[in-house]
Amino acid sequence: MKTLAGAVAPAPVRQAWGQVYGAIKKRRARRAFERCTDSNGRSVLPNDAIATLMREGYRPPDPVRYDADGLVERANEKVDQLSRVVDWTSVRTALELGCWDGMIAAVLRERGIEAYGLDITTTAADARAVRAGVAFLRSDAESIALGANSMDLVYSFASLEHFPHPDRCLAEVRRVLRPGGLAYLSFGPLYFSPYGRHAYRQIPIPFCHLLFDEHGLHQWAEANGLPHEWPYVNGWSLQRYRALWQSLPPDLRVVSYREQATGGVGIELVVRHPQVFRSRVDDFDELLIAHVEVALRKQ
């Protein structure tokens, strides 16, 4: 952004203007969504509109590093994130759900914690995590092969949205947590957020899974020589997750909770195609929340 004199405005000014502009875009989109009452409108766009939107220059989120050094860097960042809510002096045993490479658990092993990593496959287990002594469990999160009241900490990053039944998973988490133990779940992007289909590396159009049908997305990717074996997502809405926290048993208490906004990514598409969004989403706010972080304490 430039001033009248042609100079670039200071960063705080650009940031403030960006926030104002973003708020205006979201208000326009909300009005378009709420005013659209045509239940007979088109439920999805035709497949040829994928190419049209791709030409508009949408870019995927910043990539995650999966090289050897990147995995270590990411693991340490996630342990720092856990440190905001975890008192490590009380943690002797820890379990990661959806551990994949197991490098977060490897960092905990270096701290002397008995660390377990659970995933439906162990083919991605990093050799460094194996050498560190991480105990890998090949299982889904609805049947954890650990005893009741055995874990001081259960945690998960970017996984709950891939579990078919988060409520059943939470019941198992409650079972294996000892009294006083902590569960920390950080997950997303949520299904109705801009990148909720997890297809953004090949089709970076925000809300592509709401604007187009699943078969059409796969067809387009295949026709363009792009991978399209996208991960399973459970399709849970933000409201359904909120209801899950509200329905917790008395001995499982929320101690911290945060919803992360999308920043209005792709919200201009709601203005252009309100009938599509209205046919797919009941609540406009579903489009504005991308991630959730929740910490639960077992009493």
Give the pLDDT confidence of 100-120 residue by residue, as tens digits.
999 999 999 999 999 999 999
Q: Does 46 map to a domain?
A: yes
Tens digit of each residue's pLDDT (9 = 90 or more) over 187-237 = 999 999 999 999 999 999 999 999 999 999 999 999 999 999 999 999 999
pLDDT of residue 11: 64
Nearest Cα to Cα of residue 164 among 236, 115, 258: 236
Q: Is the model's pLDDT at 63 over the cut of 90?
A: no
Domain count within the chain: 1
Residue 6 falls within a domain, yes or no?
Answer: no
Q: Is residue 65 part of a domain?
A: yes
> Is the predicted pLDDT of residue 12 greater than 80, yes or no?
no
C-alpha closest to that of 198 among 149, 234, 168, 222: 234
Q: Give the pLDDT of residue 107.
A: 98
Q: Note whether residue 2 is domain-resident.
A: no
CA-only gyration radius of the chain, Å: 21
Query: Does residue 104 contact residue 86 with C-beta atoms inside 8 Å?
Result: no
pLDDT at 21: 73
Mean pLDDT of 261-282: 95
Structural domain contains residue 220? yes
Q: What CATH number does residue 55 fall under?
A: 3.40.50.150
The verdict on residue 110 lying in a domain is yes
Residue 285 forms part of a structural domain = yes
Query: What are the distances in angstroms from CA 141 to CA 13, 134, 166, 296?
Result: 46, 17, 9, 17
Name the band, by pLDDT with cuts 50, 70 and 90, for residue 9: low
Average pLDDT of span 165-170: 98
Residue 30 belongs to what domain range? 11-298
Distance of CA 250 to the CA centre of its chain: 27
CA atoms within 13 A on the CB side of 277: 29
Q: Is the pLDDT of residue 268 over 60?
A: yes
Instruction: Please say if the pLDDT value at position 3 is more than 50.
Output: no
Q: How confident is the model at residue 2 (pLDDT cuts 50, 70, 90)?
A: very low
Judged against a pLDDT cut of 70, whether residue 14 lies above it is answered with no
Q: Is pLDDT of 5 > 70?
A: no
* Beta carbons of 181 and 152 less than 8 angstroms apart: yes
Task: Round to whole Å and give the CA distance between 225 and 49.
Answer: 18
Q: Is 3 within a domain?
A: no
pLDDT of residue 66: 85
